[in-house]
Structure 1
Amino acid sequence: MAGHSKWKNIQHRKGKQDAIRGKLFTKLSREIFNAARAGGGNPDTNFRLRMAIEKAREANMPSDNIQRTIDKALGNIPGVTYEELVYEGYGPGGVAVMLELLSDNRNRTAAEIRHIFSKRGGNLGETGCVSWMFERKGVLTVAKEGCPFSEDDLMMLALEAGAADFSSEEEWYEITTSPEDFAQVQEALAGQGVKFEEATVTFVPQNTVELHGEDAKKMLQLYEALEEHDDVQAVYANFEISEEELERIE
């Protein structure tokens, strides 16, 4: 988990900016898509999908958008077939980058992603070049404000439900699980009234690279450009940027 908390600070800031930029629906749609694709389109039997739909409704996403995303995930839209892809590469300063994508045209997607990397000081690599630097984990983030439990009680609930680790950050608690135990931990805590700021199975870097100056600026630009690409479902990277450096960049 080294460095993950600092990276969460960057993601937390970016999350607020993303909402302002009108990208919130895109992110919510991706979570609905992934949940439906992984566990089916019935929220009564797919807990992850049910939570994703609830989050979308809280953000006032229209019901038609939600259903269209589920239909897309299940292949119910005629003439459109999506292929799951994983790309790996390097960013400025030797940062390891992994991407999860859904594409209806592999060649087009590869060319566009390669261009994004090269334009911002990175390069797209071969399969396996950086994946060994990441570990697949479930991550559940709970805001301290409004949490119905004390830190100790929440930690006990999480560990009893099968969580692997629990940490306390400045504004939130972070619970980690194995990918296999993620759904049962999420469901157990949600059943106790716990609300999640984020709940996902993700790739966590095993070590990190601290960036400064131009490398830090270019890496954030690369991250944002990749995240904004329509085919990209998730971006993972192993860099750290200090709060002071972020202030200078912003």
Structure 2
Amino acid sequence: MAGHSKWANIKHRKAAVDAKKGKIFTKLAREIETAARLGGGDPNFNFMLRMVLEKARAANMPKENIERAIKRGTGELEAEALEEIWYEGYGPGGAAFMIKVLTDNRNRAVGEIRSTLRKHGGNLGESGSVAWQFEEKGVITVRAEGQDPEELMLLAIDAGAEDIEEAGEIIQIYTSRNDLQKVREALDEYNLPIESAELQMVPTNMLELDPETQVSVAKLIEALEDLDDVQQVFVNVDFDEEVLEQFAA
């Protein structure tokens, strides 16, 4: 999993900027609505909802927005039904993309994704074309400030985690899909500054590309994430630190 958290650190910083602009609240509202629809509106009995609410609060999402999203999910407020879809594709240099979508219009979503991929030198793939290059993992993100990575690694491993990776402002703890809730709840006892706990598609092998192609891939990720229907984008590229700093700037 080495290398996966490099891009995650840049996304973490970008999310803080987007939150100030309110750009991520719509995406978070869709996640909250979906989690509430599938498991109910009480986070004490709905772990998926509790995880999304942590992300929403870390982004300073207004309380009234959160409450409206939960009510749409539970049916207390009228809402369009959202469908979760995974799209697979290729980007510059053969980079493999996994794209998570929550949409009320499948045709619109796939059309926008296909168009965006093409504009940036990629193409949409068939189902299963790149998914074999990823594993679904639980990923717990902790703010690095004030944390001892070695001590945190011991706590995480004792709780059942598989791996831990430090990347700039964040530390990421990886678990199996089925152990995410158990590990997250075990770490609660230590009052860690946990920003999120969620399922992610983690590449099994990272692709090495030249710096220019890495920049092209980064621009494609950003373009996809700017689409309203796209919730998350995962890619198997091992970015150079210099390229990420350039992109972040």
Q: CA RMSD in A?
A: 2.5
Work out whether residues 203 and 236 of structure 2, in 8 Å CA contact, stay in contact via their aligned partners in 1.
yes
Give the unaligned 5+ runs of structure 1.
none
Q: Which moved more, 1:225-234 or 1:13-22?
A: 13-22
Work out whether residues 212 and 245 of structure 1, in 8 Å CA contact, stay in contact via their aligned partners in 2.
no
- 1:87: which partner in 2? 87
Give the unaligned 5+ runs of structure 2.
none
1:67-146 correspondence to structure 2 within 5 Å: 67-78=67-78, 80-146=80-146
Distance 1:114 1:39 in 2: 32
Distance 1:243 1:58 in 2: 25
- CA, structure 1 residues 61+205, in 2 after alignment: closer, same or farther (shift >3 Å)? same
- CA, structure 1 residues 236+33, in 2 after alignment: closer, same or farther (shift >3 Å)? farther
Distance 2:84 2:63 in 1: 25
- 1:206 is aligned, of 186, 204, 216, to 204
- CA, structure 1 residues 157+135, in 2 after alignment: closer, same or farther (shift >3 Å)? same
Q: Secondary structure at the match of 1:138?
A: strand
User: What amino acid is aligned across from residue 41 of structure 1 in structure 2?
Assistant: G
Distance 1:183 1:173 in 2: 18
1:1-250 correspondence to structure 2 within 5 Å: 1-57=1-57, 59-78=59-78, 80-147=80-147, 150-249=148-247, 250=249
- CA, structure 1 residues 94+87, in 2 after alignment: closer, same or farther (shift >3 Å)? same
The two structures have a TM-score, normalised by structure 2, of: 0.86
Q: Deviations over 1:53-72 (max 9, x none)?
A: 35534544322211222233
Work out whether residues 136 and 201 of structure 1, in 8 Å CA contact, stay in contact via their aligned partners in 2.
yes
Aligned residues: 248
Identity, in percent, stands at: 52
Distance 1:247 1:168 in 2: 16
- CA, structure 1 residues 194+87, in 2 after alignment: closer, same or farther (shift >3 Å)? same
Report how far residue 231 of structure 1 moved. Answer: 1.0
Distance 1:117 1:156 in 2: 41
- CA, structure 1 residues 83+119, in 2 after alignment: closer, same or farther (shift >3 Å)? same
